[in-house]
């Protein structure tokens, strides 16, 4: 069974056994620096966390963190967020797609689908050349229902 939340939770618990701490729903809004060295981060609620090392794992919008740190121009590898069409639909009730479904990819049609939790099907685009690409500069998401 595919369960990304459980896998992520397990990683959290493993890190906590080694002294790691997690702050949820906290946005990094500033990377504080002094004398050419990073000194820590500031969160949206004003809380300051001091650190000699800050690791950027901000995912698709990690370029924003690089920008906050003033190092965007120095990066040999840069990131850009590409909007990606995904549909999450219920499987037919008479078929247990979560258990018996398979991961399928069809590059000719530019589509994949795979089992998802709660007997759903995750249908995604493989970004075929015929589809216009939408690059995003902002992490604000829009969801079409």
Ligand X SMILES: Cc1cc2nc3c(=O)[nH]c(=O)nc-3n(C[C@H](O)[C@H](O)[C@H](O)COP(=O)(O)OP(=O)(O)OC[C@H]3O[C@@H](n4cnc5c(N)ncnc54)[C@H](O)[C@@H]3O)c2cc1C
Instruction: Give the footprint of ligand X on residues 20-59 (CB under 6 A).
Output: 27-28, 57-59
Q: Which of 89, 133, 123, 83 is nearest to 103 (CA)?
A: 123
Binding ligand X (rule: CB under 6 A), the pick from 11, 14, 82, 86 is: 86
Number of residues this chain uses to bind ligand X (CB under 6 A): 9
Closer residue to ligand X, CB minimum distance, 18 or 24: 24
Closer residue to ligand X, CB minimum distance, 51 or 86: 86
Q: What are phi and psi of 7, to 5 degrees?
A: -60, -40
Instruction: Give the footprint of ligand X on residues 61-80 (CB under 6 A).
Output: 61, 65
Shortest gap between Cβ of 56 and ligand X (angstroms)? 9
Shortest gap between Cβ of 117 and ligand X (angstroms)? 12
Is 121 a binding residue for ligand X by CB under 6 A? The answer is no
Shortest gap between Cβ of 38 and ligand X (angstroms)? 15
Closer residue to ligand X, CB minimum distance, 84 or 95: 84
As a whole number of angstroms, the distance between CA 136 and CA 145 comes to: 20
- Please give the residue ranges that form the binding site for ligand X (CB under 6 A): 27-28, 57-61, 65, 86
């Amino acid at each position: 069974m595919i369960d990304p939340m459980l896998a992520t939770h397990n990683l959290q618990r493993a890190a906590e056994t080694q002294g790691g701490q997690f702050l949820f729903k906290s946005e990094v809004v500033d990377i504080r620096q002094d004398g050419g060295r990073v000194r820590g981060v500031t969160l949206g609620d004003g809380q300051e966390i001091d650190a000699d090392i800050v690791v950027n794992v901000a995912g698709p919008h990690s370029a924003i963190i690089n920008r906050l740190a003033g190092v965007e121009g120095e990066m040999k590898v840069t990131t850009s967020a590409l909007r990606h069409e995904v549909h999450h639909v219920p499987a037919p009730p008479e078929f247990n797609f979560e258990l018996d479904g398979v991961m399928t990819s069809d590059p000719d049609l530019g589509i994949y689908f795979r089992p998802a939790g709660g007997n759903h099907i995750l249908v995604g685009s493989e970004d075929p050349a015929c589809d216009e690409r939408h690059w995003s500069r902002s992490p604000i998401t829009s969801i079409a229902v």
